[in-house]
Structure 1
Amino acid sequence: MAEIVLALVSPFIQDAVTRAISFAGEKISLDWDFEKELRELAMLLAMIQEVLKDAEKKQESNQAVRLWLQHLADVAYDAVDVLDEYAYEVLKHKAKTQGQRGKHVSSSSRLSQTQGQRRTQDFVIAKDDLIQLWMAQGFVHGSNESLVKMEDTGNEYFNELLSSALFQDIKWDSYGNIESCKMHDLVHDLTLLVSKGETLVWDASCNFDVQNCSTIRHLRVESNGEGLPTIPRSVAQRLHSLFSNVDVFCSMASDLKSLRSLKLKGGGKKLPASLGKLKHLRYLGISETYVRTVPKSFSELYNLQTSKFVNCYELEKLPNGMANLINLRHIYSSRPRDISIMQLTSLRTLSHFAVGTKKGCQIEHLGWLSQLEGKLEISKLEYVRSKLEASKANLKEKTKLHQLKLCWSYERAVNNNNDEGVLECFQPHSNLKSLTIDGYKGKMFPSWMVNDVNSSGSSFLLGNMVELELINCYECTCIPSLGLMPCLKVLYIASMANVRRMGHELQPNGAESIRLFPALEKLTVHGMKRLEEWVEVVEDAVAGSQGVIAFPCLEELLISGCPLLETWSMGGFSSHHKLSELRIEWCSKLMAIPGVNGLSTLKKLELKGCNGLGSLPIGLGSCISLQFLRIESCKNLNSALSMNGLTSLEGLYLFRCDGLTCLPIGLDSCISFQALKIEFCPNLISIAEDIRKLRSLSFLTIRDCKNLRSISEEWLESLTRLKKLLLGPFWSELQEFPGLTSIYQSHALLEVLILFGWDKLKSLPHQLRHLTALKQLRLQDFNGLEALPECLGDLSSLHRLEIWNCSNLTHLPSIEAMRRLSNLQYLRILDCPKLKKRCAKKRGREWSKISHIPNIEIHDKDVQGKYEYFNDWF
Structure 2
Amino acid sequence: MKRMRTILNIGYPNPLESPEVLLPKVRYLRVLDLHGASFEKLPNMIGELLHLRYLDLSCNRSLSVLPLCITELYNLQTFLLRGCESLKELPRGFRKLVNLRCLDIFDCNSMTHMPPGMNSMTYLNKLTMFLVGGTSSACCLRPVGAGGLSDLKYLNNLTGSMEIKVHRGLTYDTAEAKKGGHLIHKQNLRGINICWTQKLCGMENSRFIEDDSEGANAEALLHGLQPHPNLKLFGLWDYPGVRFPSWGSSLVNNLEACLPNIVEIELYGCKRLEHLPLLSQLRYLKSLELVGLIKLEYVESIYGDEAPTASVVSRKAVSVADDLVFFPSLEKLVLGNLQELKGWWRSSLHLDTDSGNSEAEPFTKSFPRLSYLHIWLCWNLTDIPLCPKLEKLELSRFNKALGPITRPRSERRCVGDVRSSSTESNRLYPGDDSPSTSSTRQTQQEQQQQQILGGLKEVKIDKVGYLKSLPHESFQSLSHLVVRGDHDMESLTEEAGEVFRSGRLSSLHSLVISDCSNLKRLSGEGVWEHLTALKSLHLKLLSELELDDDYGDLNTRGCTTEDNHGIDTDIPWKYLYQTLHSLVLWYLPKLVKLPKGMNCLSSLQFLQITNCDNFEALPSWIACFSCLQSLVIRNCKQLKSLPEEICHLGSLQQLDLRGCSPVLKERCQESTGADWPKIQHIPRIDV
What's the offset of the Cα at 1:690? Answer: 6.1
Q: Which residue number corresponds to residue 254 of structure 1? A: 24
Q: Which residue number corresponds to residue 675 of structure 1? A: 510
User: Is it true that 1:498 corresponds to 2:295 in the alignment?
Assistant: yes
**Aligned residue type for 1:555:** L
Q: Which residue number corresponds to residue 330 of structure 1? A: 102
Specify whether residues 462 and 760 from structure 1 end up closer, same or farther in structure 2 by C-alpha distance, changes over 3 A only.
Answer: closer
User: Is it true that 1:802 corresponds to 2:572 in the alignment?
Assistant: no
Write the distance in 1 (CA, Å) between the matches of 2:28 and 2:219: 52
Higher relative contact order (CA 8 A, sep 6+): 2
Q: Which residue number corresponds to residue 400 of structure 1? A: 188
Specify whether residues 495 and 811 from structure 1 end up closer, same or farther in structure 2 by C-alpha distance, changes over 3 A only.
Answer: closer
Q: Provide the secondary structure at the position in 1 that maps to 2:220.
A: helix
Task: Say which of 396, 417, 431 aligns to 1:585.
Answer: 396
**Aligned residue type for 1:648:** S
Q: Which residue number corresponds to residue 512 of structure 1? A: 314
Specify whether residues 774 and 335 from structure 1 end up closer, same or farther in structure 2 by C-alpha distance, changes over 3 A only.
Answer: closer
User: Is it true that 1:688 corresponds to 2:525 in the alignment?
Assistant: yes
What's the offset of the Cα at 1:319? Answer: 4.4
What's the offset of the Cα at 1:855? Answer: 6.2
> For 1:731-750, what aligned pairs fall within 5 Å after superposition?
746=578, 750=581
> For 1:40-189, what aligned pairs fall within 5 Å after superposition?
none
Write the distance in 1 (CA, Å) between the matches of 2:182 and 2:228: 9
Specify whether residues 290 and 380 from structure 1 end up closer, same or farther in structure 2 by C-alpha distance, changes over 3 A only.
Answer: closer
1:651–1:673 CA contact under 8 A, matched in 2: yes
> For 1:758-773, what aligned pairs fall within 5 Å after superposition?
765=596, 768=599, 771=602
Write the distance in 1 (CA, Å) between the matches of 2:244 and 2:610: 57
Moved more, 468-477 or 845-854: 845-854
Specify whether residues 353 and 535 from structure 1 end up closer, same or farther in structure 2 by C-alpha distance, changes over 3 A only.
Answer: closer
**Aligned residue type for 2:165:** S
Which sections of structure 2, spanning at least 5 residues, go unmatched? 134-140, 319-323, 353-357, 408-445, 554-558
What's the offset of the Cα at 1:500? Answer: 3.6
> For 1:287-302, what aligned pairs fall within 5 Å after superposition?
287-288=58-59, 292-293=63-64, 295-296=66-67, 297-302=69-74
Specify whether residues 450 and 318 from structure 1 end up closer, same or farther in structure 2 by C-alpha distance, changes over 3 A only.
Answer: same
1:284–1:306 CA contact under 8 A, matched in 2: yes
Task: Say which of 342, 345, 357 aligns to 2:121.
Answer: 345
Task: Say which of 341, 346, 360 aligns to 1:531.
Answer: 341
> For 1:701-780, what aligned pairs fall within 5 Å after superposition?
701=538, 704=542, 706=545, 746=578, 750=581, 765=596, 768=599, 771=602, 774=605, 776=607, 778=609
TM-score, L = length of structure 1: 0.55
Q: Which residue number corresponds to residue 203 of structure 1? A: none
Specify whether residues 596 and 238 from structure 1 end up closer, same or farther in structure 2 by C-alpha distance, changes over 3 A only.
Answer: same
Write the distance in 2 (CA, Å) between the matches of 1:783 and 1:737: 27
Q: Provide the secondary structure at the position in 2 that maps to 1:399.
A: coil
What's the offset of the Cα at 1:281? Answer: 1.1
1:557–1:581 CA contact under 8 A, matched in 2: yes
**Aligned residue type for 1:387:** T
Corresponding pairs, count: 580
Write the distance in 1 (CA, Å) between the matches of 2:395 and 2:39: 45
> For 1:222-371, what aligned pairs fall within 5 Å after superposition?
233=1, 236-239=2-5, 244-245=10-11, 247-248=15-16, 250=19, 252-269=22-39, 273=43, 274-288=45-59, 292-293=63-64, 295-296=66-67, 297-313=69-85, 318-336=90-108, 337=111, 338-343=113-118, 344-346=120-122, 347-356=124-133, 357-358=141-142, 359-371=145-157
Write the distance in 2 (CA, Å) between the matches of 1:502 and 1:740: 43
What's the offset of the Cα at 1:555? Answer: 0.9
1:795–1:821 CA contact under 8 A, matched in 2: no
2:278–2:300 CA contact under 8 A, matched in 1: no
Task: Say which of 245, 253, 271 aligns to 1:446.
Answer: 245
Which sections of structure 1, spanning at least 5 residues, go unmatched? 1-232, 598-616, 721-735, 859-874
What's the offset of the Cα at 1:657? Answer: 6.3
Write the distance in 2 (CA, Å) between the matches of 1:500 and 1:751: 44
What's the offset of the Cα at 1:594? Answer: 1.8
Q: Provide the secondary structure at the position in 1 that maps to 2:398.
A: coil
**Aligned residue type for 2:395:** I
**Aligned residue type for 2:52:** L
TM-score, L = length of structure 2: 0.68
Q: What per-residue deviation string (whole Å, max 9, x for no partner) do you get for residues 10-41 of structure 1?
A: xxxxxxxxxxxxxxxxxxxxxxxxxxxxxxxx
Write the distance in 2 (CA, Å) between the matches of 1:676 and 1:805: 23
Q: Provide the secondary structure at the position in 2 that maps to 1:630.
A: strand
Write the distance in 2 (CA, Å) between the matches of 1:406 and 1:241: 36
1:355–1:362 CA contact under 8 A, matched in 2: yes
What's the offset of the Cα at 1:306? Answer: 1.7
Specify whether residues 393 and 470 from structure 1 end up closer, same or farther in structure 2 by C-alpha distance, changes over 3 A only.
Answer: same
Q: Provide the secondary structure at the position in 1 that maps to 2:528.
A: helix
**Aligned residue type for 1:688:** E
2:551–2:597 CA contact under 8 A, matched in 1: no
Write the distance in 1 (CA, Å) between the matches of 2:390 and 2:591: 49
Q: Provide the secondary structure at the position in 2 that maps to 1:493.
A: strand
1:644–1:667 CA contact under 8 A, matched in 2: no
User: Is it true that 1:464 corresponds to 2:261 in the alignment?
Assistant: yes
Specify whether residues 517 and 783 from structure 1 end up closer, same or farther in structure 2 by C-alpha distance, changes over 3 A only.
Answer: closer
Q: Provide the secondary structure at the position in 2 that maps to 1:422.
A: helix
What's the offset of the Cα at 1:354? Answer: 1.2
Q: Provide the secondary structure at the position in 2 that maps to 1:280.
A: coil
Q: What per-residue deviation string (whole Å, max 9, x for no partner) do you get for residues 555-587 of structure 1?
A: 146453445415436xx42xx554444433322
**Aligned residue type for 2:509:** Q
Specify whether residues 756 and 292 from structure 1 end up closer, same or farther in structure 2 by C-alpha distance, changes over 3 A only.
Answer: closer
Q: Which residue number corresponds to residue 380 of structure 1? A: 166
What's the offset of the Cα at 1:409? Answer: 2.0
**Aligned residue type for 1:430:** P
1:245–1:266 CA contact under 8 A, matched in 2: no
What's the offset of the Cα at 1:379? Answer: 1.0
The CA RMSD over aligned residues, in Å, is 5.0
Q: What per-residue deviation string (whole Å, max 9, x for no partner) do you get for residues 788-814 of structure 1?
A: 555557877755443356555444335
1:695–1:718 CA contact under 8 A, matched in 2: no
Write the distance in 1 (CA, Å) between the matches of 2:679 and 2:249: 70
What's the offset of the Cα at 1:626? Answer: 2.5
**Aligned residue type for 1:664:** V
1:241–1:262 CA contact under 8 A, matched in 2: yes
Specify whether residues 433 and 451 from structure 1 end up closer, same or farther in structure 2 by C-alpha distance, changes over 3 A only.
Answer: farther
Write the distance in 2 (CA, Å) between the matches of 1:409 and 1:757: 41
Moved more, 443-452 or 828-837: 828-837
